[in-house]
Amino acid sequence: MTLAIDDLVKTFGEVKAVDHVSFEVEEGAFVCFLGPSGCGKTTLLRIIAGLEQADTGAVRLGGVDMSGVPARKRNFGVVFQSYSLFPNMSAQRNVGYGLECRGWSKSERQKRACEMLDLVGLADQARKLPSEMSGGQQQRVALARALAPNPSLLLLDEPLSALDAKVRDTLRQEIRSLQQRLGITTVMVTHDQDEALAMADTIVVLNGGKIEQIGHPRDLYTRPASAFVAGFIGHMNVLPVTRNGSGFHFSNTILDVDEADPGQGDIRSLGIRPEAIEVASSHGANAPRNVVPGEVRAVTFLGNLTRIEVAPDAQKDTVLTLELHGACDIPKLGDGLSLRLPSHALKVLP
From the list 79-87, 168-176, 220-228, 335-343, the region that binds other proteins by CB under 8 A is 79-87
For other proteins, which is the closer residue by CB, 96 or 312? 96
From the list 68-76, 257-265, 284-292, 299-307, the region that binds other proteins by CB under 8 A is 68-76
Binds other proteins (CB under 8 A): choice among 21, 29, 39, 77: 77
d(CA 342, CA 291): 9
What is the DSSP pairing of strand 269-272 with strand 347-349?
Answer: antiparallel
- Least distance to other proteins from the beta carbon of 74, Å? 8
161 scored as a contact of other proteins (CB under 8 A):
no
12 scored as a contact of other proteins (CB under 8 A):
no
Mark residues 291-330: x for contact with other proteins by CB under 8 A, - for none. Answer: ----------------------------------------
113 scored as a contact of other proteins (CB under 8 A):
no
- CA-based nearest residue to 214, from 49, 54, 33, 347: 33
98 scored as a contact of other proteins (CB under 8 A):
yes
Binds other proteins (CB under 8 A): choice among 45, 54, 78, 175: 78
> Could you say which residues in the range 35-54 bind other proteins, by CB under 8 A?
49, 51
152 scored as a contact of other proteins (CB under 8 A):
yes
Binds other proteins (CB under 8 A): choice among 67, 105, 134, 150: 150
Strand partners, 124: none
Binds other proteins (CB under 8 A): choice among 63, 103, 303, 326: 103
- CA-based nearest residue to 147, from 127, 124, 118: 118
146 scored as a contact of other proteins (CB under 8 A):
yes
218 scored as a contact of other proteins (CB under 8 A):
no
From the list 85-93, 206-214, 257-265, 330-338, the region that binds other proteins by CB under 8 A is 85-93
- CA-based nearest residue to 22, from 50, 49, 52, 54: 54
For other proteins, which is the closer residue by CB, 145 or 273? 145
Binds other proteins (CB under 8 A): choice among 87, 183, 284, 288: 87
From the list 78-86, 185-193, 272-280, 308-316, the region that binds other proteins by CB under 8 A is 78-86
For other proteins, which is the closer residue by CB, 97 or 228? 97
84 scored as a contact of other proteins (CB under 8 A):
yes
Q: Please report, as ranges, the residues that interact with other proteins according to CB under 8 A.
A: 49, 51, 70-78, 80, 82, 84-88, 97-98, 100-103, 145-146, 149-152, 155
